[in-house]
Amino acid sequence: MNHTAVVSGGERSLLSLLVALPAAVQARLAAPRGELTAAAERLGVPVSAITGTAGSLRPHLIHTPRALAEMSFAALQVRRAARRSDAEVVHANSIRAGVVIGLAQAPSAARVVHVRDCLPPGPLTTATMRLIAATATTIVANSQYTARFVRAAAPDAPVEVVYNSVDLQRFDPARIDRAEARARLGAVGERRVLMAVVAQLSPWKGQDTAIEALKLLREQGVDAHLLLIGSARFVARATRFDNEAYLARLRELVASSGLRDHVSWLGERDDVPELMRALDVLLLPSWEEPFGRAIIEAMALGVPVVATSVGGPAEIIEDGRQGYLVAPREPIAWAEAIRRLAENPERAREMGSAGRRRVEQAFTVADHVAATLAVYERVTRRPLGLRTT
């Protein structure tokens, strides 16, 4: 069950799970009609349409009561869908979805809640996580960092970690010619240092830090160019951040820094592997990052990464081996890390190769599916006889 039809990182992880589940698992998606359900139906996954919610989990005189009403109605729909399909497991794909299935209390079904985000501390966050902990059979966190967030709010919560995965065939450097990938970008691909942030445009993702680091690099004489891949996906008034206002600020920052010819706004793209393959470095400058799906995608393609030191990336990257971990909101430090890679191409190639080996060892789709099936076996308290090869 997913609370929104918008496809972002968590939804991409869900889709990769759905397509890789063995035939013996009969999956059904409950979600609002839209981009996500259309993608699921193309994969052959049946869909139950439910009410969505864009409500932020922060107190608001208007938005909070509306979000609670939406989630309560969605809970009735999920309960009905679970009963009709005789579901053994109801798997919530987000914190909001976890609240919904907690309210639904689907009879005879185990309840798995996938926590992919770390909410700001506060009474509502604590209440939300304690509700989930009290109603979930188990909670799956996408990193140890996220698991600590859950336990901080609900110390007795049953939590286990299942890392996200990357499709090693789609993100295969042998499949995509790097020179051709750069050539497709025209003059941009001729830059000495080509870097990108692949993320929704939202303040906590830190694209402003990347822009400020680019400005410093240009002032130091580095021929660098920045690709911003993604859009302001969540723009409802009830969302936590005003992402449209943030996009306007980013555009103003680019203009005032004299970087209009050195930043490309690419929006949502279906050719992310090809774009990543063209890069010299992938940036993930978030304030904090529960996991960092773009990191393992870039690593799979042999691209070194500079990522935030706060959150899940420290569980993925060994600093100085597959890339660098840098404190967020410090453009000088980010520019220095990028410059170190630019000045030592051989070291950058070694980091890229180490990154590919790392994801092959720890972040494969087969590993993710096997870990998820193991969760299902534990919560249903019976062996399902399901194993991936």
Average pLDDT per 10 consecutive residues for the chain, totaling 389 residues? 94 96 93 97 96 68 72 93 94 95 85 95 91 96 98 95 97 97 96 97 97 98 98 67 92 98 97 98 97 97 98 98 98 98 97 98 97 96 59
> CA-CA distances (angstroms) from residue 324 to 3, 163, 194, 347, 363?
34, 20, 17, 12, 19
Give pLDDT, residue 105. Answer: 76
Give pLDDT, residue 388. Answer: 42
> Is residue 173 classed as helix, strand or coil in its secondary structure?
coil
Written as six digits, the tokens of 224 are: 């660098």
Q: What is the CATH number of domain 178-362?
A: 3.40.50.2000
Question: Residue for token digits 């049946």?
Answer: 46
Give pLDDT, residue 24. Answer: 85
The answer to whether the 9-165+364-380 and 178-362 domains have the same CATH topology is yes
Q: Determine the Cα–Cα distance for residues 132 and 112; give it in Å rounded to an integer.
A: 10
Q: Determine the Cα–Cα distance for residues 378 and 389; give it in Å rounded to an integer.
A: 20
Residue type, position 59, single letter: P
Give pLDDT, residue 56. Answer: 59
Fold of 9-165+364-380: Rossmann fold (3.40.50)
Q: Give CA angle at 28 (312, 25), nearest 5°.
A: 80
User: Does residue 193 contact residue 225 with C-beta atoms inside 8 Å?
Assistant: yes
Domain boundaries, the chain: 9-165+364-380, 178-362
Give pLDDT, residue 61. Answer: 53
β 281-284/159-161 pair status: unpaired
Give pLDDT, residue 57. Answer: 57
Give pLDDT, residue 121. Answer: 87
